[in-house]
Amino acid sequence: MTIVFVPKESAPGETRVAATPETVAKLVKQGLEPLVERGAGAASWISDEQYAESGARLVDAGEGYGQGDLVLKVAAPSAEEACRIKRGAVLISHLSPTQNLEVVEALRDGGVTAFVMELVPRTTKAQTMDALSSQANIGGYKAVLLAAATLPKYFPLLMTAAGTVKPAKVVIFGVGVAGLQAIATAKRIGAVVWATDIRPEVKEQVESLGGKFIEVAPDAGQTEPSVYAKEASEDYKKRQAEAVAKHVAEADVVITTALIPGRKAPLLITEDMVRSMRPGSVIVDMAVSQGGNCAVSRCGEDVEVHGVKVIGHPNLPATVPVHASQLYARNVLDVVKHLVPDKENENRELRLDFEDEVTAGSIAVHAGEVRHAMTAEALQQRGGS
């Protein structure tokens, strides 16, 4: 029988947990044996008793790491934690492998397989395993609430006997999952919302949520409205930057969501753009953990620069731990079901099929080899063996 271990998260500020009583019960139903470290769910308001009632056996970390065939985590393990995972086990977790090379080396040298949640392909088959989307949705929602709580103005239009209060203007960079949720949330609480993205085809999605898309005139002779920024002319890029800068200068709130797993975040808001904003305005930089989209944001700090308040919280989903844990745990459960299939698997054994696109695309380390090309290259450049 496959043993599944859920440790308590050790990363600073990490309040989420990789399994909930709901998913533990489903693991038991799948024929697996779940072990949960005592106190693992406390920061998500889940008691040890709830885990025990759902069928988990409560253990200390040493026993769990020593026995777990599958180790389920939210944040990347520390190098010390990676060394505690037993040889041959599979870690299912966020990892940011290009940024955590010491951990990758520990997993590789310890014979641990790493299934990386950030690497799950964006396909229909893997949709229920897509933790980036489930967590970005929460992050986009919370970014707007933080901005609204910080802004020294109302968000909605108000018409009162004392006069009319104009609605706040919110500008959102990036129309992915986080950006779309930010648009929807800002509209729900009454703001006027503008959004920008290098993909012109997202205009419909922005408008369907009540937002307005920042458009840029296409190059002469171009039949499509635009293309990806890397394919656009320098003239187009210049016009795009000018159009966006004008909206930023008029904004009460700017939220940036451009984050590419494993890479430094693109710089979208220069210090000059910050300087152009009105005093009291707010920027929420959702990419601050990977260098930031804003030139003046600082990871883990809220700062005031040129009279603008810049929020640099590195882990917004962890500020909503109950639902963030519920959604993440369901993503992880579906990964487990994928790796330990029901059909023709009476002993519920782990099966790593590298012909399968989800398995092959998501596993960064296996059998003493770093399979993820970018990570392998980073190790080589660093001088790792």
250-268 pLDDT tens trace: 999 999 999 877 788 999 9
Domain ranges of the chain: 3-119+341-376, 136-319
Closest CA to 260 of 141, 118, 144, 135: 118
For the domain with range 136-319, which CATH number is right: 3.40.50.720, 3.40.50.2300, 3.30.930.10, 3.30.70.890?
Answer: 3.40.50.720
Split at pLDDT 50, 70, 90, the class of 229 is: very low
Q: Active-site positions?
A: 122, 127, 130, 133, 228
Same fold: 3-119+341-376 with 136-319 = yes
> What is d(CA 118, CA 350) in angstroms, rounded to the nearest whole number?
21
What's the CATH fold of domain 3-119+341-376?
Answer: Rossmann fold (3.40.50)
E-strand stretches of the chain:
3-6, 33-37, 57-59, 70-72, 90-93, 113-116, 158-160, 163-165, 169-173, 192-196, 212-213, 253-256, 282-285, 302-305, 308-311, 363-366, 369-370
* Phi and psi at residue 23, to the nearest 5°: -80, -30
Supply the DSSP symbol for 302.
E
Residue 295: count other Cβ atoms within 10 Å of its Cβ.
16
Contact assessment for residue 95 and residue 68, using Cβ atoms and an 8 Å cutoff:
no
Half-sphere exposure of 48 (CA within 13 A, CB side): 11
pLDDT at 17 over 70: yes
> What is d(CA 240, CA 214) in angstroms, rounded to the nearest whole number?
9
pLDDT at 385 over 60: no
Give pLDDT tens digits for 232-243: 567 766 787 888
